[in-house]
Amino acid sequence: MDSETESDHELWHLIRKGSEQGFRSFFDRYHATLYHYGCTLSCSADLVEDAVQDVFIDVWRLRNTLTPDIVSVKFYLFRSLRRRIQRSRASLPIMQELSQASGLGVFSVSLSSEAEHIQRETTQRLAGWLHSSVAQLPSRQAEVITLRYFEEFTIAETARLMGISEKSVRNFIYKALCTLRHNRPLELLG
């Protein structure tokens, strides 16, 4: 079975059966996504990377006890990572985390080399603006934007992941989008 065409559930079942190849495919599929999401939760790249690694270690270590009929593998991973980072952050001195904030890389944007020069330049400038703008949002707003628009979780899933009500999710989205719209650079959109 080609790892690119395997569904999350197929990989999940392979892991439960002890397939190292299935686990490698699973890791390759989700490592970068989890890392980028983790960066919205913590400014410490080391803390995020350790938490992501721990999530995968737990999946492999506990493979015999994993739920066979999981509804959403992605949701499970995001919630596991969120909990692990929250526990780790409690033991990380706040000044250490804040000192690492300047290197925060929340989103990366891949630009097509075939695109016209003007389109590439505009896209790069817009991506830079979006990166810095989302990074400047309050942490809960940045997390909601990441989960809802970049990771494509529903409002209900986002609420469950964050442990808040759906109304709170909608409020965070509204406030974040208002801030982003208010601060958008007109020269990039015109």
Q: Which residue has the tokens 């208002």?
A: 178
pLDDT at 117: 61
pLDDT at 105: 39
Domain finish residue from 48, 68, 98: 98
Q: How far is residue 62 CA from its own chain's centroid?
A: 23
Task: Verify that 67 and 33 share a domain, yes or no.
Answer: yes
Query: What are the C-alpha distances in Å from 28 to residues 45, 76, 153, 179?
Result: 19, 16, 20, 34
- Please report whether residue 15 resides in a domain: yes
> Distance between CA atoms of 64 and 54, rounded to whole angstroms?
17
Q: How far is residue 99 CA from its own chain's centroid?
A: 21
**Other Cβ atoms within 10 Å of 5 Cβ, number:** 7
**Structural domain for 133, as ranges:** 112-189
- Please report whether residue 13 resides in a domain: yes
CATH of the domain at 163: 1.10.10.10
The residues, any chain, with a CB within 8 Å of residue 131's CB and separated by 6 or more, are: 105, 106, 107, 109
Q: What is the CA radius of gyration of the chain?
A: 18
Task: Verify that 91 and 122 share a domain, yes or no.
Answer: no
pLDDT (tens, 9 = 90+) of the chain, 190 residues, equals: 444 446 899 999 999 999 999 999 999 999 999 999 988 888 778 888 989 999 999 999 999 998 888 889 999 999 999 999 888 766 554 434 443 443 333 444 444 444 456 666 666 677 777 778 888 899 999 999 888 888 888 899 999 999 999 999 999 988 888 888 787 766 554 4
Q: How far is residue 121 CA from its own chain's centroid?
A: 26
Task: Verify that 184 and 156 share a domain, yes or no.
Answer: yes
Structural domains in the chain (count): 2
pLDDT at 90: 62
Q: Residue 75: what residue type?
A: F
pLDDT at 131: 76
Q: Taking the model in full, what pTM does it have?
A: 0.60
> Distance between CA atoms of 122 and 187, rounded to whole angstroms?
9
